Structure 1
Amino acid sequence: MTTVRWMRSLAAPEDIGALVAARCGLTVTGCELVRSLTNDVYRVRATGGDVACKVYGAGRWSVSEVAWEQDLAAHLAAHGVTAATPVPLDDAVHGTALGGTAVRDTTVHGTAVHDTTVHGKAGRGKAGRGTLVGTIDAPEGIRPFTVTAWATSAKPRPPWSDALFHRYGAALARFHLAADSFVSDHPARTGDPLSTLDQSLRWIGDPMVHEVAAAARPFLTGVVDIGVRHGDASLDNIQVTDGGVLLWHDFDLAGVGPRAADLTGAHGGAHWDTVLDGYTTLRPIDTGGIVALRVVELVRNIAWHLRDKVAMRGTESVGEGWVDRELESLRELRDRL
């Protein structure tokens, strides 16, 4: 018999809602899929406040790495940097059958859902009782899942004023300052720019990309100010409270690396000086290698669109224009190295 391998599966929203109800002790009134790409994010509506359930793609991050991310989110929430507070999974909840046969672990239509065990002990987080990460035995492999409070504030909206970008720079500095005191029992994700560059280039044949990457390489060896960075510090991952406070969310690309890389998206834009001024009102930052770090980010993005996204969405996704835009950005950087 021919074995068919799965690239990615998608859980039914009603089963995710039942899972969250069983594991978090919540009264769930509904569940909807919000987005699905690398990870699947569900909004679970519950009495007392909605929560987000994120089901991570198989083989992307280990359970330990997701537990580190959840510890980071709990730490940042305690410092007022995020409202996406992790919701612990109840260790005592077992034997619940959700559309499947009752077994020791929760099942979702016959798919086992387990507690997380890391380094021989339960992956207990700092947010309270229970674990912060569970796993689902999906057809394509083990998929970690987490539950966090649903961030109710809105994203920033136009007009894109200098005042907003000044607050954005300050909010990023607050993230980095809060992360300085972060510790976790779980191993941190690490991001070495040179390794990222080399791994990404393997999937790109365009000579121009290799030319620009070669020009950037010497500037990456002297990058300083290594620490916990957000990894995707765009306005898309900012929410604004009613009081005007900017809060961060979506930490699945966070890790230890050059913190200046969090500023690459703003560098060279119309509001760059304002962003930098907002940031440096709270902490200094060395931006000497920022153009080279931007090259690494663009090359990584191109490789992701050519390889990872094609695996999930098919070759038609290349025609969406993302690769062409990133290539054009690289051409613009070529003369600035």
Structure 2
Amino acid sequence: MLFVLVQFQQYLLRWRAERLLSDIRTIQMGKSTWADAQQLMYRWGKWGRYEGTCAAERCSYQIELDERLSSSLVGCCRKLLVIYYIFGGRDAAVVARFDVIQGQIWAKDFVLVMGVFEGTLPDDDREYMLSGSATTRWRVRDFRWQNPRHPEYVVDRPDACTGGCEEINARYTPFADPVEVNQLMSFSLDCITRLVTCRHREDIMPSVSRQMAEEKLQFDAALKAGYRPYDWCVSDPAFLGRDRANVALARVVAITQNEYEEEGRFDLHLELVSRLKRASFWKEGTVRETNVSRVIVDPVRQGSQPAQLGQTLLLAFETPTMAESRPYLDLTPCDLLLPTPENLTAVKRGIAEDFFPEERLVWP
């Protein structure tokens, strides 16, 4: 009887999780509407919640499914926990989330977390967390790194997650290819009901794990071939205009060699001409300094001549630390473009697409 009860609750959790994943995958970021969000909230209201207000203008809605009976057994009833585990009981939770902004759904997440014991049975063995996540990021600065072959998403695992956990993550922007996003949202939800428990990241998100392994091989091969990070810059001006926190036009007023002269490093002194996006910390007519490797020989990745005194450059960059008081810009060659009419048009199109909040609190 106990075996039937344990199996029933595990299969019920899996059944709900599969339907929740299917619903989240049907969301098309930037196309699904407030009406679509309301249908999901009505369907999952028993397990859903939100903080503050929830309206068409702005709403973050979270749905949580879990089976936490084993957690309550860990402290008080070890023998019952062993029986529960043998009968297929698993400490598992599923969390989904979507964000509505200005009447459209612009973010969707799905996370599977399980408590796994190192040994065959939970008898004096240490438990660790096994998790897989597919989450939206407004901007790629929240990626651990960026692959220019698919700049709108990344697959990775956290370096700090050792010993007490094993994780695998897929992160994507709202503008990632919908087909690719749904491929990234491939979870082995049968982990919830397997009698032989899932133990590793390749068990919980196998397709993402395979892609991560393949990309690591490609990256290692590129390093051996002399890869440099700025060889793989994303050069689409519209992408840069949308993704970067600040965009501005600045004039080169001085070029000086710095202490790393032997490495071909130079300081550019840039006077702000005009702001195109944010950059409120930089006052017009004032000069800021930046140090960029090879910026003289490859300044804007467009086959142009080296940077010249008096030249105006188009900058798309992140906000530097202590921006109000520190007279420096943290630029890389990937942040520089020539202000051609085509580049300016594309950058402004990207700027118009960026109406997201500065921060979005999601799972690691």
Please indicate the TM-score interval, normalised by the length of the shorter structure: under 0.3
- TM-score norm. by structure 1 comes to 0.25
Higher share in helix: 1
More strand by share: 2
Higher relative contact order (CA closer than 8 Å, sequence separation 6+): 1
TM-score, normalisation: structure 2: 0.24
